[in-house]
Amino acid sequence: MARSDANTLKIFAGRRSRDLTERICRHLDLPVGLGKTEEFPDGELIVKTDEDVRGRDCFVVLSTAQPVNENIMELLIFVDCLKRASAARVNAVIPYFGYARQDRKDEGRTPITAKLVANMIASAGATRVIALDLHAAQIQGFFDIPVDHLSAAPVLLDHFRAIRDELGDLVLVSPDVGNVKVATMYASALDGELAIVDKRRVSGTKVNTANLIGDVKGKAVVMMDDMISTAGTVCEAARLVMDEGAEKVIVGVTHAVLSGLAMERLAESPISSVVVTNTIPGGARFDPIRDKLVELCVGPLLGDAIHAIHHNMSVSALFQRGVGTKR
């Protein structure tokens, strides 16, 4: 990438997405924008940019993961700061979009919080959003501004293709019925077979898995999903396929949310490898599963999208490299 963009393109980092932003900027051969977020003793945040952004194309990188509400507020303030500093465009780069699971009313008297957050980001002054593997594809339509919904599949596929020979006979297992479309496309891309776990959810934190549709005996199992949250679904599915004779289980996800008892469950599970991307910062919280963890970088993928958007080029090629979305 050309450093000539340095005068017209500025990429800023939220506090908890600094490492990913630095990787994006290295890919583009650009410095990270000079800006900072500070916290007052009462918890209020203030954002300040330390360089001129007037007339510039600005991007703010911040995943709205834990602490979700604090990160959302920082993103909103950062967008407002750049808008009031007369940036020509303010693009919100949200590698992981929090509240994505609250995308519809599935019972009475409940909110659609994903739409509320989308409204707030647009109202703050964002002119565009870049997101990776939204939990529900229709969230793109919640925004009244353009959304580039990228897939981390190219990054994950590069990893699995590199180890494809050592996997031998391969089965892509969908841990639930809603993920069958993605599992089918990964199976095709990796020349593997397909199996499906029939999942029955008991509550928001407890999942019972009942039946396996397909044959995994003597084969390596790979389970792909957009995220691991509490890890209940994937760990129960892993035990099920091992009981059915699978040789080993590898899990691949875009977003390592890993909340609640997720670390303990993964550490104690028969899963041999957990492949994640760096959309959500890991650090020391990954220590309980460090021996199982493979962390991939989505910085170049996001960097390519930022470069295309800044130069008013098509982003379609990045979409075409994906394998689809859950629904």
Q: Is the pLDDT of residue 321 over 70?
A: no
Please indicate whether residue 10 is annotated as part of the active site. Answer: no
pLDDT at 100: 96
Domain covering 154-296, topology = Rossmann fold (3.40.50)
Q: What percent of the chain has pLDDT over 90?
A: 87
At 187, is the pLDDT very low, low, confident or very high (cuts 50, 70, 90)?
A: very high
Q: Which residues pair with 49 in a beta bridge?
A: 35
* 325/207 Cα distance (integer angstroms): 22
At 270, is the pLDDT very low, low, confident or very high (cuts 50, 70, 90)?
A: very high
Mean pLDDT of the chain: 93
Q: What is the average per-residue pLDDT within 224-245?
A: 94
Q: Which residues pair with 220 in a beta bridge?
A: 170, 248
| 42-95 pLDDT, tens digit each | 999 999 999 999 999 999 999 999 999 999 999 999 999 999 999 999 999 999
* 315/140 Cα distance (integer angstroms): 15
At 203, is the pLDDT very low, low, confident or very high (cuts 50, 70, 90)?
A: low
* 216/94 Cα distance (integer angstroms): 36
At 211, is the pLDDT very low, low, confident or very high (cuts 50, 70, 90)?
A: confident
pLDDT at 218: 97
pLDDT at 5: 85
- Answering whether pTM is above 0.85, one says yes
Higher-confidence residue: 318 or 80? Answer: 80
Catalytic residue among 10, 199, 219, 326: 199
Q: Is the pLDDT of residue 2 over 60?
A: no
Look up residue 311 and give its two tokens. 């130069």
Q: HSE-up of 109 (CA within 13 Å, CB side)?
A: 0
Q: HSE-up of 54 (CA within 13 Å, CB side)?
A: 1
Q: Is the pLDDT of residue 1 over 80?
A: no
Q: Is the pLDDT of residue 200 over 80?
A: no
Q: Is the pLDDT of residue 292 over 80?
A: yes
* 54/71 Cα distance (integer angstroms): 25
Q: Is the pLDDT of residue 235 over 90?
A: yes
Q: Which residues of the chain form CATH 3.40.50.2020?
A: 3-152+299-320, 154-296
Q: Is the pLDDT of residue 209 over 80?
A: no
| 17-37 pLDDT, tens digit each | 999 999 999 999 999 999 999
Higher-confidence residue: 34 or 179? Answer: 34
83 CB neighbour count, 10 Å cutoff: 17
pLDDT at 327: 53
At 317, is the pLDDT very low, low, confident or very high (cuts 50, 70, 90)?
A: confident
How far, in whole angstroms, is CA 153 from its chain's centroid? 11
The residue whose two tokens read 């897939």 is: 151
pLDDT at 48: 97
Please give the angle made by the CA atoms of 113, 115 and 117, to the nearest 5 degrees. Answer: 70
At 106, is the pLDDT very low, low, confident or very high (cuts 50, 70, 90)?
A: confident
* 13/31 Cα distance (integer angstroms): 11
At 178, is the pLDDT very low, low, confident or very high (cuts 50, 70, 90)?
A: confident
CATH classification number, 3-152+299-320, choose in 3.40.50.11890, 3.40.640.10, 3.40.50.2020, 3.40.50.620:
3.40.50.2020
Would residue 13 be called left, alpha or beta, if left means φ above 0 and alpha means ψ between -120 and 50 degrees? beta
* 130/62 Cα distance (integer angstroms): 11
pLDDT at 255: 98
pLDDT at 306: 98
